[in-house]
Chains A and B, each alone.
Chain A
Amino acid sequence: MVATRHVEELVQRVTGGGDDSDIAFDGLRITRDESDDEFTFTLAIDGGRVDRTGLDADGLRAVLAGEAGEAGAVVEPYVTNWHYWQETVGGEGTARRAFLRWCEDAPLADDDATSVPARYADVRDGIDREWGQLCITARFVDGDEPDGERAYDLWHVDDADADLDALEIHDEPRAARELATYDEDGRYRPLKTAPTLETGWAFTGLSGTELVDAVGFFYPATIANWHREREGELDVDHWSETAARQSGIYEVVSELPREAVDWLAEACCVDSQCLRRREWEYEAGDDLDPDGGDGPFPCREPCSLVIAAARKWAIAESETERTYELELTPSERNQLEELIDAVADDRTDEIREADVNDGANRYRARYLRAKRFADGELEMREQ
């Protein structure tokens, strides 16, 4: 049964006159026809599944309310679907609305509408989507007798199979701010889109607006930029533009050599380090070598963390290269590579205390230092 208030809101919309009184949404079409000073209505569903013309207001109301036999049963999900999207969500053209549509795989444009009943069957089961390390489930508030209102659950993709009882449950979007601040080891996460989101929590029963707020606290501005990209309006600022804009202590970043920008992108922007998909290049027509990544949301310009690191590299790259001569056994040379890899891959925590086979083992590093350092420096000759 369709809730009376939904039917009333819909009837009021179409009988209210005005330019936007005709309804054409997700396969539901109601038009007002004027003839002989009388208004009648045409109700059509999914191009012909229901097609009733010449209805007066009461007749329309009866069909919408499901009181007209077979047609009524077909109409119901279209009415509640209309109500959720047009009355509860609203915000035509906003990123918020587009994102919520994406959450349940709903089409953005009306013309390629999948049939509402099919989508309802999926939403009834819950539709899961992934957004970085976030898993979002779109479902009905009342799964047994859906009145169209959706609720959203949000948790870490790695917790998708976890028991809700085992997770810390939140319902206030702002809690996401705290969760996004530290990684699993309690370290500060200055880059919100680093793939280091901690697990063990869930948000349940969020409204659409609350979901968008929570996602905004986890991954700020990702929804807005994703939406712009889909609309063909993403304003990418390439490296050279962003670097040229810097001032003060960051002015120096524009001196970073061309090839160093490839290294920088490989160091910071690949998927193992950041889930934003890098869309900025060196400049238009001059792409960087490393892969930009596969994530759903784009990165439109070098972020503040990358600019701060670039400052360090720009200063370091201004030094001229020299040749050093030092003595190392082949194993020691290999060990240096293992040490660099261990730090670069953030693996040092995993190396076991007694695993002396690993070149980045602490005892191995201390031994190398004891042997090859004098006065705190690696012994070598400059040529």
Chain B
Amino acid sequence: MQALVIAAHGSHLNPDASNPTYAHADTVRETGAFDEVREAFWKEEPHFREVIRTLESEEVFVVPLFISEGYFTERIIPRELRLDEFEPEQWESDGTSASQVTFEAEDVGKTIHYCGPVGTHDAMTDVIVQRAESVTSDPSVGKGVGLAVVGHGTERNENSAKAVEYHADRIRERRRFDEVEALFMDEEPEVDDVTDFFATEDIVVVPLFVADGYHTQEDIPEDVGLTEDYRLGWTVPAEVDGHRIWYAGAVGTEGLMADVILERAADAGAELGDAIERVRQITSSATESDPERTSQAGD
């Protein structure tokens, strides 16, 4: 038997913080690829500390629903899962290339594959592009359009900026969008000045965050100038300095994130059959048939 654990932050205060985790877990459940699928949290239950014992499977794949390598993926999650032998060096990562490490947890008789975070997986690049498609309701969006990938910045950890730049570079190489920029909330180049960085009239702004919270629903909309006051909401697109800005909140709410979770587990050796293809089908058709969900953020 094999199990998937999606390890996310969660919140004591905001009940919506775990919604994307639940939604992606449910998508994976629908595929039947894992005998057991569990959401686990730092601030909700089941806690990281107690999740492994709820599983009957011998083979466990733990995928952190985090954007970058850092404090949570290197320290908190391994410690709380009791992966006592884990050292971040075992990932041999340059900050965005952690794939997985395997442990034999003999006390519980399980093999635990501890995977790198979703945010740095190559498949995440596709999710950002898909987000641009869904927010503009244009499956071929790109020509004549600029794309801003927005991250938190270095305040807490330098790898968070690396992840944003990594995906921005990869999208730029595809030459699909006229311009692609990596912007940040608390360092240069800043998202506040987003219109300065683009010549295109249309700019899609995609925040590389796992869940919606005050950064994506309050700070960014106000910083970018989509609205005076986030409580009033904003339109998609919104006019700012002669540009049209397309913005709809955290990329982590995009259905295709379930694909990245599966890719992480597959890289670590999970046997998934055709689950990845099926998830791609489910999550891309959901976008086309239900454009409402793309404008959930502001209007």
Residues of A at the B interface (CB closer than 8 Å) are 91, 94-96, 174, 177, 181-182, 188, 190-192, 216, 220-221, 223-225, 228, 245, 247-248, 300-301, 303-305, 308
Contact B79 A245 (CB under 8 A): yes
**B80, closest chain A residue (CB):** A245
Contacts A/B (CB < 8 Å), 28 sampled: A188-B14, A190-B13, A190-B43, A191-B45, A192-B45, A216-B46, A216-B54, A220-B45, A220-B46, A220-B54, A221-B45, A221-B46, A221-B47, A221-B53, A223-B54, A224-B53, A225-B53, A245-B79, A247-B75, A247-B76, A301-B49, A303-B45, A303-B47, A304-B12, A304-B41, A304-B44, A304-B47, A305-B12
Contact A190 B46 (CB under 8 A): no
B227 to chain A, nearest CB (A): 25
Instruction: Compute how far the CA of A96 lies from the CA of B49 in the bound complex, rounded to whole angstroms.
Output: 19
Contact B12 A228 (CB under 8 A): no
Instruction: Compute how far the CA of A15 lies from the CA of B41 in the bound complex, rounded to whole angstroms.
Output: 48
Instruction: Compute how far the CA of A173 lies from the CA of B53 in the bound complex, rounded to whole angstroms.
Output: 19
Known: A221-B51, A224-B53, A245-B79. A304 touches B43 (CB 8 A): yes
**A305, closest chain B residue (CB):** B12
B50 at the interface (CB under 8 A from A): yes
Instruction: Compute how far the CA of A174 lies from the CA of B28 in the bound complex, rounded to whole angstroms.
Output: 13
Known: A190-B12, A248-B71, A305-B12. A228 touches B46 (CB 8 A): no
Contact B15 A182 (CB under 8 A): yes
Q: What residues of A have a CB within 8 angstroms of the CB of B45 in the complex?
A: 191-192, 220-221, 303
**B11, closest chain A residue (CB):** A190
* Residue in B15, B54, B71, B79 whose CB lies within 8 Å of A224: B54
**B82, closest chain A residue (CB):** A235
Known: A247-B75, A304-B43. A225 touches B15 (CB 8 A): no
Known: A181-B15, A188-B13, A190-B44. A225 touches B75 (CB 8 A): no
Q: Number of contacts between A and B (CB, 8 Å)? A: 58
**A224, closest chain B residue (CB):** B53
Q: What residues of A have a CB within 8 angstroms of the CB of B11 in the complex?
A: 190
Instruction: Compute how far the CA of A182 lies from the CA of B14 in the bound complex, rounded to whole angstroms.
Output: 11
Contact A304 B51 (CB under 8 A): no
Q: What residues of B have a CB within 8 angstroms of the CB of A308 in the complex?
A: 12, 43
B198 at the interface (CB under 8 A from A): no
B209 to chain A, nearest CB (A): 20
Contact A96 B42 (CB under 8 A): no
Q: What residues of A have a CB within 8 angstroms of the CB of B51 in the complex?
A: 221
Q: In the complex, given contacts A177-B22, A190-B12, A216-B46, what are 15 additional A-B residue pairs having Cβ atoms less than 8 angstroms apart?
A: A181-B15, A188-B13, A190-B44, A216-B54, A220-B54, A221-B45, A221-B50, A224-B50, A224-B53, A225-B50, A225-B53, A300-B50, A304-B12, A304-B42, A304-B47
A22 to chain B, nearest CB (A): 25
Instruction: Compute how far the CA of A303 lies from the CA of B42 in the bound complex, rounded to whole angstroms.
Output: 10
B169 at the interface (CB under 8 A from A): no
**B40, closest chain A residue (CB):** A220
Known: A182-B15, A190-B13. A221 touches B26 (CB 8 A): no
B75 to chain A, nearest CB (A): 6
Which of A94, A96, A190 neighbours the largest number of chain B CB atoms within 10 Å of its CB?
Answer: A190
B297 to chain A, nearest CB (A): 20
Q: Which 4 A-B pairs have the closest CB atoms?
A: A220-B46, A221-B50, A220-B45, A190-B12
**A187, closest chain B residue (CB):** B15
